[in-house]
Amino acid sequence: MRKHTGTLGNLFARRDDGFSLGSLVDVLIAFLLALGPILQHYRGLLVNAGISVLILLLPFVLGRQISKLREIDYRGILAIIPLAVFVVYKLIDHGFTFEEFAHGMIVIFYFAVAASGCIDTDRFISATTWIASFASILIIVQYVCFYIFDFHLQLVPTGWLLPKSAQWIPRSEIGMVGMDGKPSTFYRPSSFFLEPAHMFLYLFPPLIISLSSFSVNRIAKMTAILLSLALILSTSGMGIATVVGVWGIYFLRKAVEMHRLGKRRFFSLKNVVITVSVLLGLTLICFYVPFIRKSINRIFSAGGTSSNAISGRISRGLRLTKQLTGTKFWFGVSDNVEGINFHLSGFNATMYRYGLIGVILSYVFYFRSLLVLKDAYFWISAVIVVISFFSAHTHGTFYMQYFVYFLLSGYKFRTPRTRRICFKKRQKIANEQGEE
């Protein structure tokens, strides 16, 4: 299994064959694919900017596929087959147009080339970490501008948004809009993302990767701190919960590692005092820092509006899907949910539109990842499954691709050939450190 010692430097890192034209193409592909979840909301040459980029990249990706035919590992392709079947099933379940068919074929093509190793997932993860870090710095700048200089720094070019994304324009322009779209006194910026939930979905995989290695270096740790601060400042309830969980797992692993190494000082009086102080500080922050308190209340309190994460995003969707009977239970009602005037999570939307068969096909890849992947990739899979009951975007084209590229990196490093390469690299590093 690969050990991440930092992802920021991997974007322009040299490979075994040096830094060639092919490497530059890999960087271009990785960076543009990393922008997909953001570009999907903007105007493009075809459908939207995200789809336009996928189409424009086709010849470059196909060229890399042809150049790496001898290196294809078909085990990655086998892992991705359920999601490819899910895309085909969506097309045939309720009928399709030519545009939907073309869209589905493009999605399957990118799944296949990524699974076969012809998209450099190392560079992709690095590109997403750079973008996430940049967004994290900008949200801090937004807070400084708002609370010190008394103005909202707008980072979303609203003039380029698609008509269906117009619902996010007020939030982007003033930064103080509630869940119902009405003005609010609660400042909730999200950098250049349309809303805090989008920012959370983009930032949590790089955060988990940054803290997942057995020996996290200083750059990776600083990156994790920056991303964690950004998720807290975004006031996303899911983001705050994930930050607490990820850091809790990190410190628990450190404690276990120190115990195995015989360093029992982890449970010394000094460390106990520090731990209690941190917990006390977090408790005080939760009660006395307004935006943290309101973020937590959004998770656990309905406030009479049924708009919080638990009541609004699960209960009404479950009530809707419980009404499905007969063939509708198995195949769904329709791929159109425009008549539903409340938020549907990825699970509920898939169940309503494509039935139990669609749900099973869309989750097989993630549940298999929970069983066979380890470290960061296991936790990324776990978070995806959990948030699919809260967020609709887990089953959308671009965030699904985004998550799949991360997890395929885990499958890539389960192959015997790569384990030998990683072992040789680790051995070489150990020898060099020994010589020093």
Please report, in tens digits, the pLDDT of each residue of the chain (436 residues total). 444 444 666 666 655 555 556 678 888 999 999 999 999 999 998 889 999 999 999 998 888 777 766 667 677 788 899 999 999 999 999 888 888 899 999 999 999 989 888 888 889 999 999 999 999 999 999 999 999 999 999 999 999 999 989 889 988 988 877 555 566 677 889 999 999 999 999 999 999 999 875 456 888 889 999 999 999 999 888 898 899 899 888 888 877 777 666 655 555 666 667 667 766 776 666 665 666 666 666 555 544 444 444 555 577 778 888 888 889 999 998 877 766 766 788 898 899 999 999 999 999 999 999 999 988 999 999 999 999 988 878 888 899 999 999 999 888 765 444 444 444 444 454 455 444 4
Query: Would you give the distance in Å from CA 277 to the centre of its chain?
Result: 32
Is residue 29 a contact partner of residue 61, using CB atoms and an 8 Å limit? yes
Residue 240's pLDDT is 87
- Spatial distance between the Cα atoms of 413 and 375, rounded to a whole number of angstroms: 12
- Spatial distance between the Cα atoms of 379 and 207, rounded to a whole number of angstroms: 11
- Spatial distance between the Cα atoms of 37 and 402, rounded to a whole number of angstroms: 7
Residue 20's pLDDT is 59
Please list the residues that pair with 183 across neighbouring strands: 177
pLDDT digits (tens, 9 = 90+) for 255-280: 777 766 665 555 566 666 766 776 67
Residue 267's pLDDT is 58
Q: Ramachandran region of residue 217, left (φ > 0), alpha (ψ -120 to 50) or beta?
A: beta
Q: Is 249 exposed, middle or buried (0-12, 13-18, 19+ CB in 10 A)?
A: middle
Q: Is 332 exposed, middle or buried (0-12, 13-18, 19+ CB in 10 A)?
A: buried
Residue 25's pLDDT is 85
Residue 24's pLDDT is 85
Task: Write the DSSP string, 370-436.
Answer: HHH--HHHHHHHHHHHHHTTT-SGGGSHHHHHHHHHHHHHHHHTTSHHHHHHHHHHHHHHHHHHHH-
- Spatial distance between the Cα atoms of 113 and 108, rounded to a whole number of angstroms: 9
- Spatial distance between the Cα atoms of 220 and 26, rounded to a whole number of angstroms: 23
Residue 62 exposure: Cα atoms within 13 Å on the Cβ side: 8
Backbone dihedral angles phi then psi of residue 81, each to the nearest 5 degrees? -55, -45
pLDDT digits (tens, 9 = 90+) for 225-246: 999 999 999 988 889 889 989 9
